[in-house]
Each structure stands twice: as structure tokens, then as C-alpha cells.
Amino acid sequence: MNITRENIDDLNAVVKVDIAKEDYSGKVEKILQDYRKNANIPGFRKGHVPMGMVKKQYGKAVLVDEVNKLLQDALNKYLTEEKLDVLGNPLPKEQENFDWDCENYTFEFELGLSPQFEVSLDNKKPITHYKIVAGEEMINNQITHIQKQYGKLVTKEVAEEGDVVAGTFINEAEGIESKTSLPLEKLKGKKNLEKFLGAKVGDTISLKTKGLFEDDHQLMDFLHVEHDKAHGLDIPVEFTINEINKQELAELNQELFDKLFGKDEVKSLDELKEKIKEDAAKQFKQQSDQQLLNDVTESLIENNKFDLPKNFLQKWIRTVGEKPLTEEEAKEEYEKSETGLRFQLIEGKLIRENKLEVKFEDLKSFAMDRIREQMAQFGQMNPSDKELEDIAARVLSNQEEVKRLSEQLMNEKLLNFYKENIKLEEKEVTYEDFVKEIYK
């Protein structure tokens, strides 16, 4: 067997594989001998079928199968030994007048080669690294939410702003009869709210579903209509009040603080606000880091230009799916995936050159940290190392979980690498300002 390569240019090559009879004949002969021993053909005793008949019936299929196996093994070995970094898979070139009745064969494959480039981390303009904090409004809203959660409902006779009314939405024609509790603060617009103010138990209020809530999806919650029906629903409904309750807020005292955070962990309103701010910062860190990853990705793609074997990749895309694509469809798929492919090449090079590997011990430690965090959310604050290790062992026995955690850990390693090596500019913003700035 002989394998040669012709480089068409820096990104494309053709590999030629010459297979001679002596490369495959021994294996083919052995397989046919085995077929002969086990063949059940009418008129012949088992093991005494003439070899000529066996070859006539099975010879071509066995030959094709063995040559293809030999070809794939040789090609894979060649790519590994030559350390060729290819994109996609080798594509066999069409050959006119190919004849399996010949004893020697030649096969040619097109290769798309990975581009050679150096990754530049030099971004002229610093990338913004957001430090997201809870603003005063968010902190106060969270305190009110806590007071409501730990407060109590007090029954009353007349509805006022801020009350919760229990009752039934009805529209007989649409088959709607939905019992619900409706916080008046959920209503959209003054006109809808004013219909409830001063109302008493037993009163029936006429409403329109259109514009009743800020979001039509809330019709699913309060009227129990299906998702598709809720969008743009414009029908009259009547709401009969069965009960009126006022939400009495819990008092901000030491008893509540201890219930929330443990004995004497928080002792004043100011400490409560600081605690809420700290907890919010932990939650916002994930969003901040994800945004940094997004912005770094865009910067790396913008600052690292290189060519790709475009024509080869489009040809490969045509053949790689469950069904062949047209040239136009393959071109569209390539354009959709080109940016992602470029970043994969950049990221892969950074990982290799900076040895950002995921070792098993790192993965185990990472898994234990995640498990510890999850247990803390359910009040298990001090699990033993053995308990954590046992759970981690079960998690890491699942290949899907290993893949998921490995990706998360690699993202964390890359994020730390970017923070140390890319020019960043920290900017403190409230969550509201962050959303406005990112999604403007």
C-alpha cells in the first residue's frame, strides 16, 4: 500500500491511496474459507461447497467490504501519523470507469486543512466587564416581597388598592369558569383597577380580557385558558367577588431576621439590605461572566482573521447530514455555522497552547462544589466530605453529566484566562441599567 499527498494550497490537499492485491487478498481468502466451512447450500454437504461457487456468490461483496475497511484504517492512520489537522471528513473523489474486477486500486480523497494562525489577545479598546449590583429600588422590592411572603392575609369587606380578591371569572359562551385569587396590583390601567375599588363580597364586575393584564400570558394563570388562546384574547368576562383580603406585611424584627438567615446573622434593616445586596451580587455574577464570555468571543473573532477551505466545507456539508443538500442549502448552512467554526478554532488553539485541560481531579472537585451549593439551597449547610464524594461519584458515572460538567469547567478556565490576559474595564451597574445597556 502506498499513500501520497498533494497540497493544492494552504487549505486544500488531495490524498491518494494505492492498494495492491497483496494488501487485501489474504484477508479476503480467509473470510471466504470461513464462509465455505459454514455455508448451507442445497446439494452440498456443509464444508464441501466448491470454492468457486463461494467466490461467485460472496467474493465481490467480501472484497469491497475488506478494501473499504483497509482504506479507512490506512487513511485514519495516515492523518494521525502526519498530524494533519483537518476540518470535516475526507471526501472521496469521484472516479470514472472504476472497476472492482481489477486487482489493484487507487482512491483519492479531498482534504480541508485547518488554517495556520496565531491568536491575538490584543484588543485595542478594553472590553467592559460588568459588575452588576442591586439598586435601591430592587433591594426595597425584595424587602417588600419578604414581608408579603411572611405576612398574613386579613379578611375585609370593601376592596381597596393593594388588596387580593378571590372570585370567579365567567364567560359561558367560551366555557370559562375559573376560580382564582387576583392581586389588584396585577391589573393593567386605572380603569380596570377603579372597577374593583369600593367593591364588596358578592359584587359582579364586568371586564374585557383585552388589556386586562400587562402580559396576555397572565390570562393563562387567572382564566385558565390555553396558551394559543390567550394571545390577543378579546372577550367580555364577569368576575364575581367571593372574598377580599388585605396583605398584612410581616414586621421587620429580629424574629423575622432569624427565621430568614439564622440566629443573629442579621440584626438590623441596614444589615438586611446589605445581605440582600450580597446575595444578589452572587446571583448576578453568572450573568456578568456570561456577558463577558460573549463579548470576548466577539472580540476574538473580530481581531483574528484567517481563511477557511470554504468550497471544501460547503461540499462536505452537502454530504454529512441524513439527506444530501443542494448547493444553495449547503451554502446557507455554511454561512450560519462559519462564525461558530472560526471561534472553535480560536478557542481550541488557546486551550492547547495554554494547557487549559480538564483533569479528573479538577472535575471531581468542581462537581463537589456544585453539589455543595445545591445542598445549601435546601438547608444542608455542612455535608461531610464522604457524602459529597459519594454523590460526586454517582454523578460522574453518567457520561452525559461528565460532558456537561466538563464544558462548564472549561468555560470557567477560559473565563479566568480571559480575565488575566485580555484588557478589561470594570463597570459597576445596577441590574436594570445592565439590562438596558445589553439589550438596547
- Mean predicted confidence (pLDDT) in 294-298: 95
What pLDDT, on a 0 to 100 scale, did the predictor assign at position 30?
A: 92
Write down which residue in 248, 275, 294 finishes a domain.
248
Same domain, 299 and 426: yes
Domain region containing 362? 267-438
Assess if residue 146 is contained within a domain.
no
Assess if residue 273 is contained within a domain.
yes
- In this prediction the pTM is 0.73
**Is residue 237 a contact partner of residue 209, using CB atoms and an 8 Å limit?**
yes
Average pLDDT value over all residues in the chain = 92
What pLDDT, on a 0 to 100 scale, did the predictor assign at position 411?
A: 93
Same domain, 199 and 244: yes
- Other beta carbons within 10 angstroms of residue 26's beta carbon come to 11
Share of the chain above pLDDT 70, in %: 100
Same domain, 291 and 368: yes
Assess if residue 136 is contained within a domain.
no
Assess if residue 260 is contained within a domain.
no
Same domain, 420 and 296: yes
- Mean predicted confidence (pLDDT) in 157-162: 94
| CATH number for position 274 | 1.10.3120
Same domain, 84 and 203: no
- Mean predicted confidence (pLDDT) in 164-182: 95
Write down which residue in 84, 113, 142 finishes a domain.
113
Same domain, 244 and 283: no
pLDDT per residue over 323-376, tens digit each? 889 999 999 999 999 999 999 999 999 999 999 999 999 999 999 999 998 888
DSSP state of 396: T
Same domain, 275 and 401: yes
Same domain, 358 and 214: no
Assess if residue 254 is contained within a domain.
no
310 has pLDDT over 90? yes
What pLDDT, on a 0 to 100 scale, did the predictor assign at position 247?
A: 86
122 has pLDDT over 90? no
| CATH number for position 41 | 3.30.70.1050
Same domain, 286 and 380: yes
Write down which residue in 197, 218, 248 finishes a domain.
248
- Mean predicted confidence (pLDDT) in 151-162: 92
- Tell me the pLDDT band of 262, cut-offs 50, 70 and 90: confident
Same domain, 190 and 284: no
What pLDDT, on a 0 to 100 scale, did the predictor assign at position 376?
A: 81
Count of domains in the chain?
Answer: 3
Assess if residue 128 is contained within a domain.
no
Same domain, 377 and 334: yes
| CATH number for position 187 | 3.10.50.30
Same domain, 241 and 271: no
- Mean predicted confidence (pLDDT) in 266-288: 92
CA distance 328 to 318: 10
Assess if residue 258 is contained within a domain.
no
Assess if residue 296 is contained within a domain.
yes
pLDDT per residue over 86-107, tens digit each? 999 999 998 888 899 899 999 9
